[in-house]
């Protein structure tokens, strides 16, 4: 809830009153909130209720990890199998953290994979 005097975020007591956390304002009293419902009428918040409804959802697991090849580079690497210069590359930490990462490469044309250390 917000203080009706200065607008500072305040926390209500169980009785519905708020004490403003802004020491310059110092407001203590009812929240004086007017909330309008969908029909345009003022809703009494002291009688407000809330509920949660569990809804079952279906999730589709998309397994495309075999297609995740990295970033396509052109001209930076040559495939040792077919001499194509269009190669997917990504970095992977294959050894301990004090060692440099390994560049994993896959040819776009023939799907040949190799590593550079």
Residue 33: pLDDT over 60 = no
| pLDDT tens-digit readout, 97-110 | 888 888 989 888 88
| pLDDT tens-digit readout, 54-67 | 778 777 776 655 66
Listed in order, strand segments (DSSP E) in the chain are: 17-19, 28-30, 35-36, 42-43, 71-74, 86-92, 102-107, 113-116
Domains identified in the chain and CATH numbers: 1-45 (no CATH), 71-116 (2.20.25.10)
The whole model's pTM is what? 0.42
């Amino acid at each position: 809830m917000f203080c009706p005097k200065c607008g500072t975020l305040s926390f209500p007591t169980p009785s519905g009153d708020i004490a403003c956390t802004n020491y310059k304002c110092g407001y203590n009293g009812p929240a004086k909130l007017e909330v309008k419902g969908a029909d345009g009428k003022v809703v009494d918040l002291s009688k407000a209720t809330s509920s949660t409804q569990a809804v079952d959802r279906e999730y589709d697991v998309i397994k495309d990890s075999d297609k995740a090849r990295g970033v396509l580079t052109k001209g930076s690497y040559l495939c040792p199998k077919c001499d194509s210069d269009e190669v997917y590359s990504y970095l992977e930490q294959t050894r301990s953290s004090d060692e440099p990462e390994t560049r994993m490469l896959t040819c776009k044309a023939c799907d040949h994979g190799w590593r550079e250390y």
